[in-house]
Amino acid sequence: MTARRPSLAVVGATGAIGGVMLQILSQHADVWGEVGLVASPRSAGRKLTVRGEEIEVLALTEDVFDGVDVAVFLVPDEISARWAPVAASKGAVVVDDSAVFRMADDVPLVVPEINSRAARIRPRGIVASPSCTTLSLIVAVGALHAEFGLRELTVSSYQAVSGEGRGGVAALREEMAQVAGTELGTHPGDVRRALGTSVDTPFAAPVALNVVPWAGTDAGDGWSSEERAIRDESRKILGLPDLKVAATCVYVPVVSTHSMSVHATFENEVEVDRAHEILATAPGVVLFDDPAAGDFPTPSDVVGTDPTWVGRVRRSLDDPYALDMFLCGDNLRKGAALNVAQIAETVAAEFPGV
């Protein structure tokens, strides 16, 4: 077999996550041959820089997948649902960031630090990447599970507005501009009344001077889709179909980087010193935990970095089998583009030229 480096197509190259992906492709070891950039017809013809080279963006059609070995999809659900099977039918291995295929029995859901081998078995030619909320959590919790045996998770997320794409960021910035320098936030409903309908927002309530305890869509019985995703995806990734998970997802006025408060209960008794050792050496994790010295992760410190940062690690006061901790992870990097890139690189390693 002739050695060659595989070709790559980036679908959604002009979006927020696509922009991060292009940075990663330029920063990581170059395992790719030809790289093609694909987006909607309105973005076709634009030129973007990848690996120091200007590449013209192509419109999304069936023909763009001819000869492509790996196609990463960084697009909304409806685009992935239509076009990912097309790319797979053309012979490309698809790595998809949408929610469409995550829970399909015949599509592996992969976090390379935890279950990279799962990416090898792909009967539909598709590998899924988890949601940004799950990815902010799972590399740290997965490392602890390997040692102590995870039994239950209780999670509260503090999610950045970029989880709603560029529209979420634009809404927060516009709201902040309108409330800055005012006395708003001191009377019931004054922020909502002041903003009225002047801001085009994807959120159920103002995010400026506020938090919004709803992320995603209605999943029934009072749960949001993001909350159900943390439960369902964690079960699938860790191979724990009966894992008990309770999650509450909240948007906060942060541009990028999700934070999470985690209460994890294990089968075996835990010790903080051993948990520190595990987290300090776990791939994709940075331990930053000395609260007396002011050392703990915050979104403004973690944004733009690749790992999940972990701090405030402590044993439960009332349960020697439980740990509490605080995590931060950039939702556009490990929470989206980076995990997709890592999966794609895992697939690329199957080619004899890599």
Catalytic-role residue among 28, 132, 263, 276:
132
Distance CA 50, CA 47 (A): 10
Distance CA 196, CA 191 (A): 8
Give the 3-state DSSP-derived string for 192-236, with helices as H, strands as E and coil as C: HHHHCCCCCCCCCCCCCCCCECCCCCECCCCCEHHHHHHHHHHHH
Distance CA 64, CA 83 (A): 11
DSSP helix/strand/coil, 328: strand
Going from the C-alpha of 310 to that of each of 94, 139, 285, 287, 313, the distances in angstroms are: 31, 10, 7, 5, 7
Active site residue 132: yes
Q: Count CB neighbours of 293 within 10 A.
A: 7
- Phi and psi, residue 151, nearest 5°: -120, -40
Q: What angle do CA 73, 74, 79 make, to 5 degrees?
A: 70
Catalytic-role residue among 145, 249, 258, 328:
258
Question: Of 243, 37, 46, 23, which Cα lies nearest the Cα of 145?
Answer: 243
Q: Which residues are catalytic?
A: 132, 258
